[in-house]
Amino acid sequence: MTAPLLQVDDLVVSYNGFRAIDGMSLALDAGEIRVLIGPNGAGKSTICDAIIGRAPVTSGRIMFKGEDITRLSEHAIVGRGVCRKFQAPGILPTLTVAENLAIAARRDRRWWRNLRLAVPPGEAERVDAMLERIGLADRRDVVAGELAHGEKQWLEIGMVVCTDAELLLLDEPTAGMGPAETARTADLVRSLAGRHTVMVIDHDMAFVEQLAARVTVMHQGKLLKDGSVAEIRADAEVAAVYLGRTKHDAAA
């Protein structure tokens, strides 16, 4: 059996004594799609923060491709092949759609390599292909800040995929999208499987079902359950957590 692509061991992230992640473990195999759900404050976004180097890890270990990335800086982690989409669209508002994608698609991100005028080979093709894939080909020269909300979400998903990172963390990719757009997003995410490993955080159970992936449920910073969509739906403990969320979330 091969080692998992990402392995999170007994992770703890605490803010001024509050343990947002409280001994969580998780393993993702290469090429897998995984959905992470849980009530508000369960620590879903925080675990993404910890993996990408944004939240200070109190204890525990994060291994990626057999390398310990727990204490690396953000750009070093991204450089090793992890990329994340944020809840609020993180695009570069005064640059055009194509420029946003080009920056994400660039392979050599060292500053002195970018002093030239010429576009590196392959970059333009990757940008064009991604514009088609996310349906923004006719918007390529629009300033990204002027896009509609759903388009911004798509652009950011496109940017994250464009980095060609092996592990993609998508935090609520369908927030603010209608049913049709959500279905297209599900198609896109499914098409990523195999080449990429994807961890999706979402609340929308319809979207989760369309992904047909294994589901991990978090609660109060810990692992609650792990299984197929059907198993999770049938689970009494998960139902209790979601129904009783107001009581539990008072602490968060």
Partner 1 sequence: MDGVVLALGQGFNGLSVASLYLLAALGLALSFGLMRVINMAHGELLMLGGYIAYLVMKAVPGTAGLLLALPAAFAGSALLGAAIEATLIRRLAARPLDTLLATWGLSLILQQAARNIFGPIGVEVRAPAWMNTAVAVGPLSFATTRILILALSVVLLAGLALLLTRTRIGLLVRAVNQDRMMAAAVGVDVRRVDMVMFALGSGVAGLAGVALGLLGPVTPTVGQSYIVPAFLVVVMGGLGSITGSTVAAIILGVFTAMVQIFVDVSVAQVLMLLLVIAFIQVRPQGVLAPRTRALDA
Partner 2 sequence: MTRPALIAMVLAVAAAAVLPFLLGSYDLNLIARFMALGILALGLVLLWGETGILSLGQGVYFGLGGYALAMHLKLSGLGPGEIPDFMVWSGVKTLPWWWQPFENPAVALIGVVAIPGLVAGLFAWMVFHRRVGGTYFALITQALALAFATLLISQQATTGGFNGLTEFPTLFGIDLNTLGAIRGLYWITLAALVGAALLLALLRASRFGTLLRAVRDGENRMRFLGYDPTPYKVAAFTVAAMLAGLSGALFTLHAGVVSPALVGVVPSIEMVIWVAIGGRHSLVGAIVAALLVNLARDRISSALPELWLYALGALFIVVVTLMPRGLAGIGQDLMARLMRKGAAQ
Contact 202, 173 (CB under 8 A): yes
Nearest Cα to Cα of residue 24 among 228, 225, 233, 239? 225
Q: Does 86 bind partner 1 (CB under 8 A)?
A: yes
With CB under 5 to 8 Å by kind, the binding choice for 233 among partner 1, partner 2, none is none
Q: How many residues bind partner 1 (CB under 8 A)?
A: 6
CA distances from 178 to 83, 151, 157, 183, 200 (A): 25, 12, 16, 9, 18
Q: Does 252 bind partner 1 (CB under 8 A)?
A: no
Nearer to partner 1 by Cβ, of 88 and 212: the residue is 88
Nearer to partner 2 by Cβ, of 145 and 244: the residue is 145
Contact 38, 22 (CB under 8 A): no
Nearer to partner 1 by Cβ, of 48 and 134: the residue is 48
Q: List the interface residues with partner 2, window 142-201 (CB under 8 A).
A: 159, 163
Q: Which of 3, 76, 88, 234 binds partner 1 (CB under 8 A)?
A: 88
Amino acid at 220: Q
Q: List the interface residues with partner 2, window 205-224 (CB under 8 A).
A: none
Binding segment (CB under 8 A) for partner 1, from list 65-73, 85-93, 119-127, 200-208: 85-93
Q: Which of 60, 90, 135, 227 binds partner 1 (CB under 8 A)?
A: 90
Q: List the interface residues with partner 2, window 94-133 (CB under 8 A).
A: 94-95, 99, 102-104, 106, 109-111, 114-117, 119
- Indicate the helix (H) or strand (E) that contains 8: strand 6-15
Q: How many residues bind partner 2 (CB under 8 A)?
A: 31
Contact 229, 208 (CB under 8 A): yes
CA 138 to chain centre: 26
With CB under 5 to 8 Å by kind, the binding choice for 15 among partner 1, partner 2, none is partner 1
Nearest Cα to Cα of residue 158 among 186, 194, 196, 131? 131
Nearer to partner 1 by Cβ, of 48 and 97: the residue is 48
User: Residues 6 or more apart from 220 whose CB is under 8 A from it?
Assistant: 22, 41, 42, 43, 248, 251, 252
CA distances from 1 to 34, 75, 215 (A): 19, 31, 22
With CB under 5 to 8 Å by kind, the binding choice for 209 among partner 2, partner 1, none is none
Phi and psi, residue 49, nearest 5°: -55, -45
Binding segment (CB under 8 A) for partner 1, from list 67-75, 82-90, 111-119, 167-175: 82-90
**Chain residues that interact with partner 1, rule: CB under 8 A:** 15-16, 49, 86, 88, 90
